[in-house]
A and B are shown apart, each in its own frame.
Chain A
């Protein structure tokens, strides 16, 4: 599987939501508007998708995962439309493209031990023969994400911290060895010290196992940390894309600049200079602010 290229092709995807609640905007909301890009695992890469809430990032993730059929456009996996897969192709797709979601609390059924999430994956995708073999697979994967099996197995979800739960999901990813990870805001509910551990694992998955990640986040500093490519999404469309080192250091689109200038810099010497005056701008308006001084990365 790893020797040939795998490719997810998103072409001209548009998604509209309809409903009475959207009357104010004419009965429909265009969450994703004519988006095209592709993800490939040769070479493996991390592709960042950034934007504010409501920009359509999560809808796009759901469309790629096969959870929400787009209104127009198509998503193909190795040339086949993911919404028309059957039998073996479907299974192959489900195994090759794995999600990691935002809320480490919502993903587990509170009535079952966390082991179940891992055993389910083993059964569904026939990863092991018999119980002892399965346990070995589980323990190996837990260690791969810096968890001690004895800290996690046999516990209920509420007994684990958010960071541990999110890493159990990564252990599941490790077991399945997918070609692609679709990670929708995976670190936004984690503390800083735990966050980098999670990001380091994603980077290792790329380097060690050749997995490609679509990393969805609103936090630009985590995008800069993982590097790779970046797409900036605004009101359903991609307004700017390129290498992280170019886009975040020399942003061209005003929206990207606005996002960058709104992020507080973790350095007390780099405070906003206009702090004393409260910004009176209407919140829907785009703030036009100066580009922050950012040092260019060393090549």
Chain B
């Protein structure tokens, strides 16, 4: 356990240093109606010890992005370009796009864990929970069977489950309990990063709360980094430190969670935040966002949001806006926004700050 403790301390002291740098990531699918560019030019930085939320409507490419982060994209999907630089704990830089499949496998679980959508269905129905722990831990670390048996009850306790769960089969557990078993596996291997794809969808409200709190505890108690992908903005408000908003295959805004909710910059983010009903207070009509999500086989030209944007200008259909920092009085971290409304301001502040 001493080694483990040391690792946890290391995690905490490394908080804030870069963990993943995603540059111009493109993931396409070959379909009968042409190439579907589901993820098309994503730039994203993840820091150690943060909970980074990725928000966006269905079809915006969130799930495609998360599978690509661990190179789990399956045909007809393929990674069309870009780089994912992983900063390992000892300061090494690895481009996950360039390593061999065998090397990549060694990074999974040990460094990068993935909770797929509906991950409770990824447990083997005919194996006891303890045996599944053994499988995963043995494949990705050099611990002995006895060692593994000893730590399983402790792992379960850390995600709020009773030790006797180890002897149970998946069908004896509720959806939320299964979800937490998977989270415990990520804890077991002390992954640097946990990518959770819609971890609360399809769970009942109070079980949702337990899962949200478990993910929060992963970071608070173990210093893990979490990428939280969900369309449910309330979950982001509850858990995330920063939020990246995805629209039509790319990131349109990244900012501190408070800035995203209190002072959204991109017109799409404004529409999204403005469509969330709240309990209590004055009841007023919300406007939603008119129009439909564009098709990934045929994105609109220029800014992909321009056909639905209430602030559309002449330049919008012509030029693709870049994701750039904008000047924002209060925020410590400047929000990054990809919108022509801010292009001039960005050029100005970019010039003064030497490009930041």
Chain A residues at the B interface, C-beta cutoff of 8 Å: 52-54, 146, 151, 161-164, 191-197, 199-200, 203, 218, 220-222, 224-225, 227, 248-249, 258-272, 274-280, 283, 287, 294-298
Contacts and interface: CB of A to CB of B under 8 A. Distances in A.
A162 B209 CA distance: 27
B63 to A, nearest CB: 14
Contacts of A262: 205-206, 208-209
Q: Pick from B158, B206, B209 the residue with the most CB of A within 10 Å.
A: B206
Nearest to B289: A193
Contacts of B279: 220-221, 224, 248-249, 260, 263, 265, 294
Interface string B209-248: 1101110110011000000000111110111000000000
A279 B261 contact: no
A280 B159 CA distance: 8
Contacts of B283: 224-225, 227, 297
B73 interface: no
Interface residues of B, number: 54
Interface of B: 57-59, 158-160, 174, 176-177, 204-210, 212-214, 216-217, 220-221, 231-235, 237-239, 257-258, 261-262, 271-272, 275-283, 285-290, 292-293
B278 A275 contact: no
B205 A278 contact: no
Contacts of A271: 237-238
Given A262-B205, A278-B213, A196 B281 contact: no
Contacts of A261: 209
A107 to B, nearest CB: 17
The 5 closest A-B pairs by CB, nearest first: A225-B277, A294-B280, A278-B160, A191-B57, A193-B289
A264 B234 contact: yes
Contact of A278 (B177, B210, B237, B272): B210
Contacts of B262: 268
A10 to B, nearest CB: 25
Q: Pick from B234, B257, B282, B285 the residue with the most CB of A within 10 Å.
A: B234
A192 B233 contact: yes
B278 A265 contact: yes
A271 B235 CA distance: 10
A275 B233 contact: no
A193 B288 contact: yes
B275 A193 contact: yes
B158 to A, nearest CB: 8
Given A262-B205, A278-B217, A192 B237 contact: no
A210 B191 CA distance: 57
A151 B291 CA distance: 11
A52 B204 contact: yes
A64 to B, nearest CB: 23
Contacts of A267: 237, 261, 278
